[in-house]
Amino acid sequence: MAHIDLGVDETLFPGINGPMRFRPETARPLNELAEVLLRGPHPLTPGERELIAAYVSGLNECTFCCSSHSAFAAAQLDEGMPLVDQVRANLDTAPVSAKLRTLLRIAGAVREDGRKVTTELVEAARAEGAGDLEIHDTVLIAAAFCMYNRYVDGLATLAPDDPDRYAESAERIIAEGYHA
């Protein structure tokens, strides 16, 4: 049970869904940010951007966000959950493009401390073809997911154990987006 009464059945509205219903006026801009960062027009695919969110959430040990965004990424990547699991287990050996690997390294640095994003990390991403928008949004996705993770875990919200719950949410997010 969450630390506060969210006014909803947490089994029906687990994770971030409960707090979003508790404060719809703050949910709106948080969902708009997620929509722009993860689904809007971009050189990175929605699956790649969701993978960044899942990777950061996993590093932060946020069960709900990691499970959710892993499912969202898997549903939008040809390689599915095996790729997501490989990235989360060992970024160095995961079969992703060199560009995505460098961006994930930037995301990991942001998660640790924004000042850990070095000129060398940025130059490595540029050398692999990452442009300013991809670098900017990788940093912002990572920073935003540190906030989302702390929001979810700071209120001690419910994280379902059933992977099917996250797969169902993935279908809804892909079809309707984060505004729904």
pTM of the full structure? 0.97
Q: One-letter amino acid identity for 131? A: G
Per-residue pLDDT tens for 22-46?
Answer: 999 999 999 999 999 999 999 999 9
pLDDT exceeds 70 at position 180: no
**Closest listed residue to residue 152, CA positions, set 162, 144, 163:** 144
Per-residue pLDDT tens for 89-114?
Answer: 999 999 999 999 999 999 999 999 99
Q: What is the pLDDT of residue 17?
A: 97
Q: What is the pLDDT of residue 179?
A: 86
Residue 26 backbone phi and psi in degrees, to 5: -90, -25
The residues, ordered by sequence, that sit 6+ positions from 172 with a Cβ below 8 Å of its Cβ are 180
CB-CB contact of 47 with 73 (8 Å): yes
| Tokens (6 digits) for 179 | 């505004």
Mean pLDDT of the chain: 97
Cα 169 to Cα 43, 72, 97: the distances in Å are 24, 8, 27
Per-residue pLDDT tens for 128-171?
Answer: 999 999 999 999 999 999 999 999 999 999 999 999 999 999 99
CA 72 to chain centroid: 9
Length of the chain: 180
